[in-house]
Amino acid sequence: MPKKHINAQPDLVDDDGVRLFFKPVQKKAEKTRTKIKRSKSLDNNAVSGIVVSPAGPKWWVKGLDASLLCTVSGTVDCSHTSTMVAVGDRVWVVPLVEDEGADGEVVHQNEAMIVKVEPRSTLLSRKAAGKQDKEQVLVANVNQLCVVVSTVMPTYNKRLIDRYLIAADKGDLRPIIVVNKTDLLADEFQQDVIDDFDVYANKLGIPVLMVSAAKNTGIEELEAHLTGAETLFSGPSGVGKSSLINRLTKSNLRIGDISEYYEKGTHTTTGALRIELPCGGAIVDSPGLREFAIWDLDPQEVQFYFEEFIPYTTKCRFTSCTHTHEPDCAVKEAVDNGELDVERYLSYMYILHGNADEHER
C-alpha cells in the first residue's frame, strides 16, 4: 500500500511574521508570544533607555551609561497593541547578570531584556507592507518629520509627500520638507521647483528647504530647524538622507560607522537608526521606503487633511459633498480656476478612492 504523503500547507504568515505550516506549530507559536501586562511592577535592577536601532530580532537601547543589546521579555508592561517596540520608544530594561567579579561586585553582560515600554507621545506609522491589514509603527516619540525628496535622481513625487503629511498629522508630528540635490538641477528649472512647492510653503505654512548635501548649501538653515528636536528623516531611497545627516553631524558621527557598530553580529541593514546631533537633539535615519500607505484613514476624514480646501467646502451646493462628482462643487471650481493646486487635488482623489499610488517608482 503506497504511503500517504502529507501535502505541505501554503506558506502562511501570522500577525507577528511567524511562519506557520501546521496547526500544532501555530499553537506552539501562540504559547510563546510575548504577553502584554499593564502596570507590571518593575524589577529593582531595571534601568531606563531609548531604543536606537533594531538588530534582527533584538534592539539596541541607549541608557545613561552604555548601550545594551536587548531582547523583549516574555511579559511586557505596554499600553499599546501595535508594533510593541519601535525606534524612539522609551523603555525599561533589566540587564542580564553574567558573573560576580573578584571583589564580589556583579558584572553585567552587554545584554538586557525589555520589560516595559512607556506610552508614546507621538508616532509615525503606515499600513504594513504586503497583504496584512495591520499598523507598522516606524518611529515613536519624535517631534518632527523631515520628508526628504530630491529634485532629480529620483525626481520628487508630490503624492508621496501628501501621504507623509497626513501620517504626520495623525501622529502629531510637525512636518518639514527638504528638497535635496538642487546642485543637479539646471539653473533655468530652479524657480519652477520652488514654485511647485509654493502650496506647501505659503498655503500650508510648512517649511520647505532647498538644499544640496554635495555642495553644503542650505545645511545651516536645516540645522536651525533640527536643533533641540527629535526628528525623523524619511523618504524614498536615493534622495540623499544619509549624506545630509553626515553633513549635519559634521563627520563626527558617520552613518556607516554607526550602522556597522549596531548591526555587528546581525544580518539586518534596513532598520531605523537614532543619532544624536552636535547641535542638540537627535535624528532618526530611516531606510528608504518603497511604499507608504496611510493607516486607519476613514474616507470621510480625507478632505479634512487638505486644509486649503476648507474655505471652499462651505460654498458647495451639498453639505455632504465629496468634491468628486457633485454639481456646484466649490472645491472643483477652485481647482479649475487655479485657486487650488491641481496636484494636491489629484492626491486627494487617489487617497479618497484607495488608490494612493503606494509604490514608488
For the chain, the residue count is 361
The Cβ-side half-sphere exposure at 15, using a 13 Å CA radius, reads: 11
Grid coordinates belonging to 338: 487655479
Same domain, 107 and 221: no
SS3 54: strand
Number of domains in the chain: 3
Reported as a single tens digit per residue, the pLDDT across 210-256 is: 999 999 999 999 999 999 999 999 998 889 998 999 899 864 444 54
pLDDT at 291 over 90: no
Assess if residue 361 is contained within a domain.
no
**Cβ neighbours around 64 below 10 Å, total:** 7
Which letter, b or e, does each residue of 135-154 get, where b requires 16 or more Cβ atoms within 10 Å of its Cβ? bbbbbbbbbbbbbbbbbeeb
5-24 confidence digits (pLDDT tens): 434 334 444 444 433 433 34
- Verify that 149 and 251 share a domain, yes or no: yes
Give the end of a domain, one of 84, 117, 150.
117
Q: Which residue has the higher pLDDT, 120 or 38?
A: 120
Residues 277, 315: one domain? no
Q: Which domain holds residue 63?
A: 36-117
d(CA 159, CA 195): 16
pTM of the model: 0.80
Instruction: Please say whether the beta carbons of 254 and 246 come within 8 A.
Output: yes
User: How far apart (Å, rounded) are the C-alpha atoms in residues 158 and 135?
Assistant: 23
**Same domain, yes or no, for 99 and 169?**
no
Tally of CB atoms within 10 A around 260: 11
Q: Is residue 219 a part of any domain in this protein?
A: yes
Asked which of 87, 117, 147 is the last residue of a domain, the reply is: 117
The amino acid present at 354, given as its one-letter code, is G
Residue 320 inside a domain? The answer is yes
> Which residue type occupies 167?
A
